[in-house]
Structure 1
């Protein structure tokens, strides 16, 4: 699960709380001081520890925060120091404007997201999904598919940042099925997945039965090699399959 540090000014707390709620609902793990620092803990130490532990940082900006002195400026300096240790090309710092305001010069090298615009949050989610795809070993921006055993039918897997995987065997393209492909569909298999190193295990259950998966995922997420054991409508079968990503074009 992608860990996101929410760097912000205390004056923007209400907006940041709403952002945290949205990110939690999307399956991410946002870190917010008032929720994640326990009474009696050293504030500065926990902030530094959280920044180091998180996968990326959202620096939330407003007209008030960019001119405010205080701890938020120190927090940004800590973030910038940590950013210097990230591999080149890594998405680690995302300036997130909560309203129309200037972006501080020291943050201008990173492309910002404008959360106050209509498409702002969707653009943020695309960036977070791209980061998550490099952290968890699987891709979240599309489906995995294996060669069809029956003409016209393909088995699809889709992984989500919250640790859930869905599967279905159906006809149609990934773009066509994504319109109805969600966890509430009774004909979809659903379950939690676990990744340790290059090992991935999960089991999906639907009204017709359960399929167990055990195999490996390439480090770049471009292939899954899975042994499957199916318990479908009272029948048991197994196989070894190669799944490859099908990136959505819509």
Structure 2
């Protein structure tokens, strides 16, 4: 698929807009992906969301963005942004304005880290206070990432999600951070990944278990890396290569087996 002239929407995960603002200080968030997409001739834009707002609120905003332009868009979403994209695309009008959806490391079935934060009152209060201080939402955005909330949502939406997968190319990219390959900032994700594995959550990227990031019936791709591997450059990280692999999976002629 050529990207020349194609409308592409990037949907940030939790705190994405805050990290993006710190790019002059050596941090970035999806900027390598945006730069590469623009270089390919794509009309690329970041969807303006407050990333700690509830999933439903941001899904409604994304729907408006899709409907405001008659051109169908390719959507590339990271982490929580994938949950909001999935919810938005269950609307048939929004779905008709999309040509494909690549979800990178999105906790469709929840994150044990969110469970830990929302299960401890001091941490929940701190998360809400930080979100309000940064003007990006509230703790409800974190609550929407918990395994209990997400499993209920996915179960309730099972039929419309299945219809979406039959109508539109959807690919889920998950990563697994591994000891010996984590470098720099990824070492923090490795410590979290080991904590999650000890609690029975299996291979994960330090925030999202691999099994949580894969929607049955979608196209799946599992690669090495931490939760920042697809959005941030650094030692051993090539987010553009991971995104390109995800796009190849998204538009592959081979259909995934039925769930």
TM-score higher than 0.5 here? no
**Please, what TM-score do these two structures have when normalized by structure 2?**
0.34
Please, what TM-score do these two structures have when normalized by structure 1? 0.35
Q: Which structure has greater strand proportion?
A: 1
Name the one with the larger helix percent.
2
